[in-house]
Amino acid sequence: GQSLEQPSEVTAVEGAIVQINCTYQTSGFYGLSWYQQHDGGAPTFLSYNALDGLEETGRFSSFLSRSDSYGYLLLQELQMKDSASYFCAVRSEENYGQNFVFGPGTRLSVLP
Amino acid sequence: NAGVTQTPKFRVLKTGQSMTLLCAQDMNHEYMYWYRQDPGMGLRLIHYSVGEGTTAKGEVPDGYNVSRLKKQNFLLGLESAAPSQTSVYFCASSESGTQETQYFGPGTRLLVL
């Protein structure tokens, strides 16, 4: 089977740095994606890692270690608008590579 | 350019009723997906389509049917709604099957009494 684990909640203050971890178990791993979802809204794509290492996109960075089946999303210079749920997702080889599995999500609260 | 749109936004059904959720995208994407999201949980894939006229089952397909008669539309049907199908339904599309970026619609909130 496939499974992803994330912390359920993280709290940080404005301007700080926060790291959201994700560990996964899957068959035929293609890559790890991250999505942001505000309350009542739709998920929006943040980043994707197919290879080991760090990918940086503005204030957000994402890291992957394939050997450890582990990745994280790093948010820097936190802003109030970053308060949202963050999901990691993997695409596995099941269903002809179209089996997207999402983690349970991490709720980030940014305090003033 | 509206992206991905979903109709309706909210619906209340009684157990045993049927309904169809409509998803439309104007990005000329080949791949389309239907997910459900239950409170405090991630998204689970119901069905997907890799092109016009093709559909396939995802992780939780039971109780749902889909059709993709036109490239821009992906319909999700519930033939006989059950309370366990109370959820928020999201449609998504992507340019290709190897494209990791999925574009999501605003969601449909369904309550089955």
Q: A45-62 pLDDT, tens per residue?
A: 999 998 999 999 899 999
Q: How far apart are CA B23 and CA B76, in angstroms?
A: 8
**What is the amino acid identity at position A74?**
L
Which pLDDT belongs to residue B97? 64
Q: How far apart are CA A59 and CA A56, in angstroms?
A: 8
Q: Which residues pair with A45 in a beta bridge?
A: A35
Nearest CA in chain B to A42: B106
Which pLDDT belongs to residue B41? 81
At residue A46's C-alpha, the angle toward residues A96 and A8, to 5°, is: 90
Q: Which residues of B touch A102 (CB under 8 A)?
A: 35, 42-44
A92, A31 Cβ separation under 8 angstroms: no
**Count of beta carbons in the 10 Å neighbourhood of residue B108:** 22
Single out the residue of B4, B94, B96, B85 nearest to residue B46, CA to CA: B85
Q: Do strands B10-13 and B65-67 pair parallel, antiparallel, or not at all (unpaired)? A: unpaired
At residue A49's C-alpha, the angle toward residues A17 and B25, to 5°, is: 100
Taking CA atoms, A58 is separated from A48, A50, A52, A55, in Å, by 14, 19, 19, 10
Which pLDDT belongs to residue A95? 65
Q: How far apart are CA A75 and CA A82, in angstroms?
A: 9
Residue ranges in chain B whose pLDDT is less than 50 = none
A8, A22 Cβ separation under 8 angstroms: no
Q: How far apart are CA B74 and CA B21, in angstroms?
A: 9
The pLDDT tens digits for A46-103 are: 999 989 999 998 999 999 999 999 999 999 999 999 999 999 999 877 666 677 889 9
The pLDDT tens digits for A14-41 are: 999 999 999 999 878 888 999 999 999 9
At residue A44's C-alpha, the angle toward residues A102 and A22, to 5°, is: 35
**Count of beta carbons in the 10 Å neighbourhood of residue A13:** 11
Backbone φ, ψ for residue B84 (5° rounding): -70, -10
Per the listing, tokens 């396939």 go with B56
Cα atoms found within 13 Å of the Cα of residue A73, Cβ hemisphere only: 30
The reply to whether residue B97 touches residue A98, judged by beta carbons under 8 angstroms, is: yes
Q: Is the pLDDT of residue A10 over 80?
A: yes
The reply to whether residue A48 touches residue B100, judged by beta carbons under 8 angstroms, is: yes
The reply to whether residue A45 touches residue B103, judged by beta carbons under 8 angstroms, is: yes
- A 9-48 residues inside an 8 A Cβ radius of B: 30-31, 33, 41-45, 48
Q: Which residues of B touch A42 (CB under 8 A)?
A: 90, 104-107
